[in-house]
């Protein structure tokens, strides 16, 4: 007993010395006052009432009561990381921005990924556009590129943005559903606003359910200008291309991941960076000269349009690597404030009406959310370049100005009067592109914005067969959740104009007739914007641009950072397991051992293997591939486990590669035989070369032909 008590006492002493990782730092109040007791309020006697004079309690609880700031109206749920942008191909012929013109220039960045519609507590796997915002800490100040993982947006004019977001958010009467577009109000809005048609097609594609933030493209969405040292300007679209390729999950999988791990994307990004597997994107510019602009069949000021790279190539000029997780989520990821109006010399706005509206909205929302015009002084928002101006005071001012005068110009000696940068040596001033504009004051949209359907049709026709099937399935799910039949009917009218076959498939599934075209209600709304509506596209010659499909941007030569679940029980084949594990990890992937309970398992030859996860805490949807470890005893126990059976069933249903360990020529694995007869990507690891086939199949990301084959059988 003494020995036991001694051990307990030792543990207590050890805990005392190790509980405070800060060493001898004393606990203090916000004013630096050392605190003796942080566990009890001041009372009148040990069982008496608490006293109002307990200023330490009041300070602590007051700060707690106010530690939450208003969440973003959109993009509330996000994840961020620090990194570096490296320029490898300067473009001084287009811009004077130093971070794009100085050879081998490195610029610090902070990137925030996000969903758009859901609240901070929603799931990562909602069908949604993803935000892709980059803060460049350049030598000339902050440049914010606030984009998405889709190159187009729902609306053309920012005045419609509140209505779009209101329709996407939970319905006001019951605050349902969270982080979803599959409900009455969004589809009511979309069916009456045909300009949304193109982006809705992207939203119904697999772009809306990415496998990882690390496997998304990024787009600046709006058209900007680049201006060189001679004052010559060109239009530009900004692009980011992930080295890991562009990949997605399937919709059934996305819904199950939301239940199993709603932090799936945030955790994926965090874990990859912590493990030193830093995600990398190529950064590109799509330059549109005035001559190129004149040749295009659409208006580049229209944010609902994309310029396929087959028409104007993308020039990749640098790389962006994310290599450090935030030290504190709130201080950095939550407080970071992006604004399209944060520019540097050599970059300017276009007349895109959506962008013009964003220039007001983003600044206004940061002031509201962070509570002060001094949000630029927060560490995550602070430029690397010294700030010198006469803006003063305001809530939460951090800087303590030393100058006596607070106005410009002034003549006080020794205070460093900040002359305009145009007359200071070594400074490149920001100058607005001197483009001219004239016209009557009108509330009117350019007729060049009136074609809402050509690109929607081109996008659909540019998809692979599996891409088209998933769009059909997505429309069927989303419209199937709409309870108002007239809304379903009205949106089918929009699909008729885009593609009649698509309309027929979806209409049949959601129980409405196929109309001739746009409804009268849709036309009435559209004609409030365009008098001579509709401007229907010419479908005599359908165009296809492979770059618009996700498969065009997939990477099939690597399984780096992919996760493989090894289903295993006692009696497994240790030699085979070690061989498969070694090869998978050599390729940069991760093999996790999953079984019925945590602890260790013993192979048929006596070796022990530590378990990473139990079947109860993980799920097939959280892995990219499945490996059923060889060994007759182990496999029979795996197959007898109902949860393990669902692992295998879901992996097959979601088109993932499944590897089956080998026992002997005398044994027939009926599970393997059954699945192998139903589609590709089911591999028996009989020879060493089969392991290589297994790895190559995982690199395909998914065996999409399996889904198409099963669909034909049904």
Domain check: are 569 and 525 in the same one?
no
Mind listing the pLDDT tens digit for each residue in 266-299? 999 999 999 999 999 999 999 999 999 999 999 9
Mark which of 325, 359, 377 sits at the end of a domain. Answer: 377
DSSP helix/strand/coil, 34? strand
Quick check: 241 pLDDT over 50?
A: yes
Mean pLDDT of 315-330: 98
Res 325: pLDDT: 98
Res 432: pLDDT: 86
Domain check: are 599 and 702 in the same one?
yes
Whats the size of the chain, residue-wise?
714
Asked whether residue 637 is domain-assigned, the answer is yes
Asked whether residue 439 is domain-assigned, the answer is no
Q: How far apart are CA 709 and CA 707, in angstroms?
A: 5
Asked whether residue 214 is domain-assigned, the answer is yes
| Mean pLDDT for all residues in the chain | 91
Domain check: are 496 and 639 in the same one?
no
Asked whether residue 72 is domain-assigned, the answer is no
Domain check: are 457 and 599 in the same one?
no
| 131 strand-pairing partners | 114, 148
Mean pLDDT of 450-455: 94
Asked whether residue 47 is domain-assigned, the answer is no
Give the β-pairing of 130-138 and 600-602: unpaired
Q: How far is CA 41 from the centre of its chain?
A: 44
Domain check: are 156 and 100 in the same one?
yes
- Among 210-214, 399-403, 457-461, 653-657, the range scoring the smallest mean pLDDT is 399-403
Mean pLDDT of 662-669: 76
CB 156 within 8 A of CB 193: no
Quick check: 176 pLDDT over 70?
A: yes
CB 488 within 8 A of CB 482: yes
Res 19: pLDDT: 46
Domain check: are 370 and 238 in the same one?
yes
Residue 427 banded pLDDT, cuts 50, 70, 90:
confident
What is the DSSP code string of 529-595? T-TT-------SS----GGGSSGGG---S--TT-EEEEE--TT--HHHHHHHHHHHHHTT-EEEEEE
Mind listing the pLDDT tens digit for each residue in 293-311? 999 999 999 999 999 999 9
Domain check: are 233 and 268 in the same one?
yes
Res 409: pLDDT: 73
Res 11: pLDDT: 36
CB 84 within 8 A of CB 106: yes
Number of domains in the chain: 4
356 C-beta neighbours (distance < 10 Å), count:
16
Asked whether residue 593 is domain-assigned, the answer is yes
Residue 17 banded pLDDT, cuts 50, 70, 90:
very low
- Determine if the pTM surpasses 0.85: yes
Residue 347, CA distances (Å) to 85, 99, 100, 301, 312 in order: 17, 11, 10, 16, 20
SS (H, E, C) 441-506: CCCCCCHHHCCCCHHHHHHHHCCCHHHHHHHHHHHHHHHHCCCCHHHHHHHHHHHHHHCHHHHHHH
Quick check: 637 pLDDT over 70?
A: yes
Residue 413 banded pLDDT, cuts 50, 70, 90:
low
Mean pLDDT of 621-639: 96
Containing structural domain, residue 142: 78-181+210-377
Q: How far apart are CA 667 and CA 393, in angstroms?
A: 80
Residue 422 banded pLDDT, cuts 50, 70, 90:
low
Domain check: are 613 and 709 in the same one?
yes
Domain check: are 289 and 163 in the same one?
yes
Give the β-pairing of 233-242 and 218-219: antiparallel
Mean pLDDT of 146-154: 98
Domain check: are 533 and 660 in the same one?
no
Which of left, alpha, beta for 561 (phi over 0: left; psi -120 to 50: alpha)? left
Domain check: are 569 and 692 in the same one?
yes
Asked whether residue 186 is domain-assigned, the answer is no
* Contact partners, residue 120, CB within 8 Å, separation at least 6: 71, 76, 77
Tell me the CATH number at 652. 3.40.50.880
Mean pLDDT of 81-85: 98
Res 9: pLDDT: 36
Res 387: pLDDT: 81
Q: How far apart are CA 35 and CA 351, in angstroms?
A: 58
| 376 strand-pairing partners | none
What are the backbone dihedrals phi and psi of residue 305, each rounded to the nearest 5 degrees, phi first?
-115, 150
Mind listing the pLDDT tens digit for each residue in 52-63? 899 888 888 878
Quick check: 374 pLDDT over 80?
A: yes
Mind listing the pLDDT tens digit for each residue in 181-196? 999 999 999 999 999 9
Mind listing the pLDDT tens digit for each residue in 557-596? 999 999 999 999 999 999 999 999 999 999 999 999 999 9
Residue 123 burial (CB < 10 Å; 0-12/13-18/19+)? Answer: buried
Q: How far apart are CA 194 and CA 191, in angstroms?
A: 6
Res 5: pLDDT: 40
Q: How far apart are CA 124 and CA 55, in angstroms?
A: 41
Mean pLDDT of 704-710: 90
- Percent of the chain past pLDDT 70, that is, above it, reads 93
Asked whether residue 50 is domain-assigned, the answer is no
Res 122: pLDDT: 97
Domain check: are 598 and 678 in the same one?
yes
Res 406: pLDDT: 77
Mark which of 533, 552, 571 sits at the end of a domain. Answer: 552
Residue 629 banded pLDDT, cuts 50, 70, 90:
very high
Residue 13 banded pLDDT, cuts 50, 70, 90:
very low
- The DSSP code for 116 is S
Quickly tell me which residue has 């490149």 as its tokens. Answer: 428
DSSP helix/strand/coil, 632? helix
Mind listing the pLDDT tens digit for each residue in 496-532? 999 999 999 999 999 999 999 999 999 999 999 998 8
Please identify every residue annotated as catalytic: 75, 148
DSSP helix/strand/coil, 194? helix
Mean pLDDT of 459-474: 97
Q: Which residue has the higher pLDDT, 393 or 131?
A: 131
Tell me the CATH number at 309. 2.40.180.10
CA triplet 90, 94, 97: central angle to 5 degrees?
Answer: 65
Mean pLDDT of 219-244: 97
397 C-beta neighbours (distance < 10 Å), count:
14
Res 4: pLDDT: 37
Mean pLDDT of 99-113: 97
Mark which of 504, 522, 552 sits at the end of a domain. Answer: 552
Res 438: pLDDT: 73
Residue 676 burial (CB < 10 Å; 0-12/13-18/19+)? Answer: middle
């Amino acid at each position: 007993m003494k020995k036991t008590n001694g051990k307990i006492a030792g543990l207590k002493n050890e805990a005392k010395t190790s509980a405070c990782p800060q060493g001898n730092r004393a606990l203090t109040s916000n004013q630096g006052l050392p605190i003796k007791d942080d566990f009890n309020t001041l009372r009148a006697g040990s069982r008496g009432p608490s006293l109002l004079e307990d200023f330490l309690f009041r300070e602590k609880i007051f700060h707690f009561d106010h530690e939450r700031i208003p969440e973003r109206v959109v993009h509330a749920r996000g994840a961020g990381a620090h990194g570096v942008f490296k320029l490898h191909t300067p473009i001084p012929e287009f811009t004077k921005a130093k971070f794009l013109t100085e050879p081998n220039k490195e610029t610090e960045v902070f990137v925030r990924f996000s969903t758009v519609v859901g609240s901070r507590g929603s799931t990562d796997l909602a069908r949604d556009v993803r935000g892709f915002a980059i803060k460049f800490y350049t030598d000339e100040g902050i440049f914010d590129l606030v984009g998405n993982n889709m190159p187009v947006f729902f609306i053309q004019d920012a005045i419609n943005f509140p209505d779009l977001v209101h329709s996407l958010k939970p319905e006001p009467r019951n605050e349902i559903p969270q982080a979803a577009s599959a409900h009455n109000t969004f589809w009511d809005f979309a069916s009456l606003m045909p300009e949304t048609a193109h982006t809705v097609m992207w939203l119904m594609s697999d772009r809306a359910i990415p496998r990882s933030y690390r496997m998304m493209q990024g787009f600046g969405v709006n058209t900007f200008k680049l201006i060189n040292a001679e004052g010559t300007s060109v239009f530009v679209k900004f692009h980011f291309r992930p080295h890991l390729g562009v990949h997605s999950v399937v919709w059934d999988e996305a819904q199950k991941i939301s239940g199993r791990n709603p932090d799936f994307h945030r955790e994926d990004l965090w874990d990859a960076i912590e493990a030193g597997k830093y995600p990398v994107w190529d950064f590109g510019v799509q330059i549109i000269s005035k001559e190129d602009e004149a040749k295009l069949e659409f208006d580049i000021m229209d944010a609902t349009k994309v310029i396929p790279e087959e028409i104007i190539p993308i020039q990749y000029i640098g790389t962006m690597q994310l290599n450090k997780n935030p030290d504190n989520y709130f201080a950095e990821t939550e407080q970071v404030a992006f604004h399209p109006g944060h520019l540097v010399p050599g970059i300017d706005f276009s007349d895109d009406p959506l962008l013009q509206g964003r220039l007001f909205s983003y600044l206004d929302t940061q002031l509201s959310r962070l509570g002060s015009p001094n949000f630029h002084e927060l560490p995550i928002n602070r430029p690397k370049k010294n700030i010198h101006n006469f803006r003063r005071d305001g809530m939460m001012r951090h800087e303590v100005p030393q100058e006596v005068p607070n106005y410009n110009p002034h003549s006080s000696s020794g205070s460093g009067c900040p002359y305009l940068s145009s007359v200071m040596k070594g400074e490149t001033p920001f100058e607005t592109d001197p483009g001219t504009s004239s016209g009557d004051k009108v509330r009117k949209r350019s007729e060049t914005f009136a074609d809402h359907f050509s690109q929607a049709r081109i996008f659909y026709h540019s998809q692979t067969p599996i891409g088209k099937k998933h769009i059909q399935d997505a429309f069927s799910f989303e419209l199937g959740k709409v309870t108002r039949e007239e809304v379903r009917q009205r949106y089918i009218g929009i699909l008729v104009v885009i593609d009649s076959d698509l309309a027929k498939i979806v209409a049949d599934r959601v129980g409405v007739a196929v109309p001739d075209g746009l409804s009268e209600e849709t036309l009435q709304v559209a004609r409030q914007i365009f008098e001579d509506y509709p401007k229907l596209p010419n479908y005599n010659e359908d165009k296809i641009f492979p770059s618009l499909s996700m498969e065009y941007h997939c990477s099939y030569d690597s399984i780096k950072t992919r996760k493989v679940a090894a289903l295993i029980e006692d009696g497994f084949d240790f030699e085979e397991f070690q061989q498969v594990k070694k090869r998978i990890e050599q390729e940069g992937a991760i093999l996790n051992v999953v079984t019925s309970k945590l602890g260790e398992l013993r192979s048929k030859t006596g070796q022990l293997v530590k378990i990473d996860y139990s079947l109860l805490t993980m799920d097939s949807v959280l892995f990219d591939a499945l490996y059923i470890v060889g060994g007759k005893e182990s496999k029979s126990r795996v197959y007898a486990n109902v949860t393990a059976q669902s692992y295998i069933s879901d992996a097959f249903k979601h088109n993932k590669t499944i590897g089956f360990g080998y026992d002997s020529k005398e044994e027939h694995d009926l599970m393997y035989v059954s699945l192998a007869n139903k589609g590709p990507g089911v591999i028996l690891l009989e020879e060493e070369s089969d392991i290589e086939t297994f790895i190559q199949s995982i690199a395909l990301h998914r065996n999409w032909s399996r889904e198409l084959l099963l669909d034909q059988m049904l």
